[in-house]
Amino acid sequence: MIGRRVSRVAALWITLATAACTRLVDDRPEEVGPPDLPGQDQGAAELPDTVEAEAIEACPGALRCPCEQGSDCDSSLCLDSLEGMVCSTLCGLGQSCLPGWHCLEVSTGFDPIHGCVPAAPSLCRPCISDQDCAPKAGAPEGLWVCISHGDDGSFCGAPCQEDRDCPDQPVAFRCDAIPLAAGGTVRQCVPASGQCPCTDKFRTALFETICQIRNEHGVCPGRRTCDEACQGTAPEAETCNGLDDDCDGETDEDLPPLPCEIQNAYGACPGRRPCLSGSLGPCDAPTPALEACNGLDDNCDGRTDEEFPDRDRDGIADCVDPDIDGDGILNDGDRCPYDPDPDQADNDGDGPGDACDDDDDNDGTPDPADLCPRVPDPPDGTPGDADGDGLGDRCDCDADDDGWSNPGLTDFAGTPCSLTSPARDNCPRVSNPDQQDTDRDGTGDACDCDVDADGIPNNNPGCPEVQTPDNCRQVPNPDQADGDGDRIGDACDCDLDNDGVQNPNPGCPEPLPADDCPLVSNPDQQDTDGDGDGDACDCDADGDGVPNPAPGCPDPGPLGDNCPLVFNPDQRNTSGGPFGDACNPDLDDDGVPVDQDNCPAVPNPDQRDADGDGQGDACDCDGDGDGFGNLGLDLDGRPCPTPPILDNCPRIANRDQADLDRDGIGDACDCDVDGDGDPQPNFECPTPIPADCDPFDPEVAHLAPERCRNGVDDNCNGVVDEPGCVE
């Protein structure tokens, strides 16, 4: 075991020494050829055409075979590669190197020779900074970049100009332009699959990179080697503990006070416990107490002074209410403190207000039984009440309340009523504001037992009741004819079918125009086909040759018109419902009427129209109107044609279809445009806190390392090139 370790140390020393004295073959004069190895005697013509010929030889000793020292290899060249120490081969004079290997002048302790040297021994090494990636010596000129692979961490690239400069083992690599944090790009070898291999070399060396642990609570940094998952603390929901649980740089942020309560035998009072310096503060609730009449909710049950009297129901108990009856007069000056009396009236002047005086006129009859409570009863007895309104005739200025005056007294002093009408009421005990008297007999129609004096009595207040009263009270008609049986005699019926459209009749106004269905009620007088017969009595209302049911018409049965008021001789009915297409108010049954539906053949109750072109998104093959199609249905409900380029933001117009991070989601609707795991606000995206300070640069993010002397705030903390930055 000790000898093997010594061999590894010796091999490493030889490799470093070899790398230190290398130079590119292209830098040598053209006439200089590769020197012969000791013990060899072959010209350039005898060398194999390519190093690929050597690569097929069996291990040990052949190209790419594992080795510890030069003697383990057929070429005596044991060199460091991204797979560890492997055998190389000679090159020059017709012998070329594999992709990612350079033909350089090397030394094995004898004369210098030309061998194939791995150009990127640190390629795909887990790294934290660019300094982790550059080989110690013998590396090609150019930048060695520690390239971010998102949450998985960062891995080394290697400088290149074309794909051949990159190795094809143990996985295929390609030469891509990689953005730099300071601006611009640099070409680097990267794995073609996007996934760096974890070689025994990197696994054994325990190289680490900074990774991210992400969940619904946030993103926390961690560390990992290439053969293990990210190790670190996972984000958690923020709690009151003095820690930054969700790794957003803030501690105990946005924590609302927790509800609490103080309980005892009287009840439970609610309060709150705030988060103070990482711990919950004391509960600020009051202590429950026995409810007292004091205007407070002592026991915290949501009620104040409950069980105590509250006469005016204003929520203030009488014991603390300055206006117990709620009439606007404070208790100390109120004639009736327990009964509302805002006018403070005292009709009989005895001190208590009328509101709490049982006998306002002091006539010995309590107010509830007194028909004139403010006018004393006459000495001979109780006053009459002709209209039965509870107000005696003695104090009623209009006994039937029709606006025509009767004499009377109104108050304790016996003030007479003023005459408010030009004449006395012709029906003093029956309300008749119009004072109409058809037969001019001096008795108003409202109280006349035969209003039109045709010998047919009518029922009126104060008249004998008859079973069949006059059916034309104000038009003499002794025969009482009534053709439509509506109890209105023909002599006075201006609307025989009672539809509000008049017919000519003596005493009736001339109808203009006359009822187009005189025997069938049709107040709208609708005549769809304009044939002079109203729809209510027309056997073919729309004139399309298909009959419809109507009074006086034959029953068409199942063959009746499915759109009786819309011309549709074809009777087309797509939905199979009760209505034909010509009058179906909702063809697609989405609850939106056809004349308002922006997709009449495709259900879309939300009527969403992203591009505002009047065609709903549900039937628009370019919903956002940016010229790039989307899948779905067209206006007629047929599938949209498959577009040559499917819109990567179908709900918002983006004619450039820009997709910076190439994730298939356009920048116009991508919640993380540069794909660095640091989101920014965008269309239909939640507002992140904090947001990416440079949403178009994947090298700039809250968890990115701050690089020195690049003039950029790489980690979005508001400071540029702060102490501790990475060189």
Q: Are residues 8 and 112 in the same domain?
A: yes
Per-residue pLDDT, 584: 83
pLDDT at 354 over 60: yes
In a domain, residue 680? The reply is yes
Mean pLDDT value of segment 559-582: 84
Burial letters 630-653, b for 16+ CB under 10 A, else e: bebbbbeeeebeeeeeebbbbbbb
What's the total number of domains in the chain?
3
631: left (phi over 0), alpha (psi -120 to 50) or beta: beta
Q: Are residues 139 and 108 in the same domain?
A: no
Q: Are residues 90 and 166 in the same domain?
A: no
In a domain, residue 200? The reply is yes
- On whether the CB atoms of residues 75 and 86 are closer than 8 A, the answer is no
The Cα 698–Cα 690 span in angstroms is 16
Mean pLDDT value of segment 513-525: 84
In a domain, residue 465? The reply is no
Q: Each residue of 131-148: pLDDT tens digit?
A: 999 877 555 678 899 999
Q: Each residue of 42-65: pLDDT tens digit?
A: 332 333 333 343 444 578 889 889
In the chain, % of residues over pLDDT 70: 89
Residue 623 CA, distance from chain mean position: 19
Q: Are residues 94 and 181 in the same domain?
A: no
In a domain, residue 103? The reply is yes
Quick check: helix, strand or coil at residue 470?
Answer: coil
Q: Each residue of 238-256: pLDDT tens digit?
A: 999 989 999 999 998 888 8
Q: Are residues 96 and 148 in the same domain?
A: no
pLDDT at 608 over 70: yes
Q: Are residues 37 and 111 in the same domain?
A: yes
In a domain, residue 349? The reply is no
In a domain, residue 702? The reply is yes
Mean pLDDT value of segment 708-712: 90
Q: What angle do CA 513, 518, 524 make, to 5 degrees?
A: 60
**DSSP per-residue string spanning 137-177:** SSPPSS---EEE-GGG-EEE--B-SSGGGS--SSS-EEEEE
In a domain, residue 545? The reply is no
Q: Supply 406's token pair.
A: 């009767």
Per-residue pLDDT, 403: 80
Q: Each residue of 288-338: pLDDT tens digit?
A: 999 888 888 889 998 888 888 888 888 888 888 888 888 888 888 888 888
Range of the domain at 154: 126-224
pLDDT band per the 50, 70, 90 thresholds, residue 110: low
In a domain, residue 175? The reply is yes
pLDDT band per the 50, 70, 90 thresholds, residue 32: very low
- Select from 224, 250, 278 the last residue of a domain: 224
Q: Are residues 139 and 87 in the same domain?
A: no
pLDDT at 41 over 50: no
In the chain, % of residues over pLDDT 90: 33
Q: Are residues 93 and 157 in the same domain?
A: no
- On whether the CB atoms of residues 67 and 60 are closer than 8 A, the answer is yes
pLDDT at 277 over 50: yes
369: left (phi over 0), alpha (psi -120 to 50) or beta: alpha
Per-residue pLDDT, 139: 55
30-39, 166-175, 207-216: which range is least confident on average? 30-39
Per-residue pLDDT, 42: 32
209 has which bridge partners? 224
> CB neighbours (10 Å) of residue 281?
15
Cα dihedral 368, 371, 374, 375, rounded to 10, equals -150
> CB neighbours (10 Å) of residue 1?
5
Per-residue pLDDT, 457: 94
Q: How buried is 583 (Cβ within 10 angstroms: 0-12 exposed, 13-18 middle, 19+ buried)?
A: middle
- When the pLDDT of each residue in the chain is averaged and rounded to a whole number, the result is 83
- Select from 199, 224, 249 the last residue of a domain: 224
- On whether the CB atoms of residues 360 and 350 are closer than 8 A, the answer is no
pTM metric for this prediction: 0.37
Per-residue pLDDT, 669: 93
Q: Are residues 113 and 130 in the same domain?
A: no
Q: Are residues 112 and 130 in the same domain?
A: no
Per-residue pLDDT, 260: 93
Q: Are residues 10 and 38 in the same domain?
A: yes
Mean pLDDT value of segment 568-591: 82
234-243, 580-589, 671-680: which range is least confident on average? 580-589
- On whether the CB atoms of residues 280 and 274 are closer than 8 A, the answer is yes
Cα dihedral 138, 144, 146, 147, rounded to 10, equals -130
- On whether the CB atoms of residues 403 and 418 are closer than 8 A, the answer is no
Quick check: helix, strand or coil at residue 45?
Answer: helix
The Cα 277–Cα 499 span in angstroms is 81
> At 133, which amino acid appears?
C
Per-residue pLDDT, 382: 62
Q: Are residues 98 and 162 in the same domain?
A: no
- Select from 191, 224, 257 the last residue of a domain: 224
The Cα 561–Cα 575 span in angstroms is 16
Question: CA dist 175 to 116, 141, 168, 674, 675, Å?
Answer: 20, 15, 11, 20, 20
pLDDT at 561 over 70: yes
The Cα 149–Cα 676 span in angstroms is 9
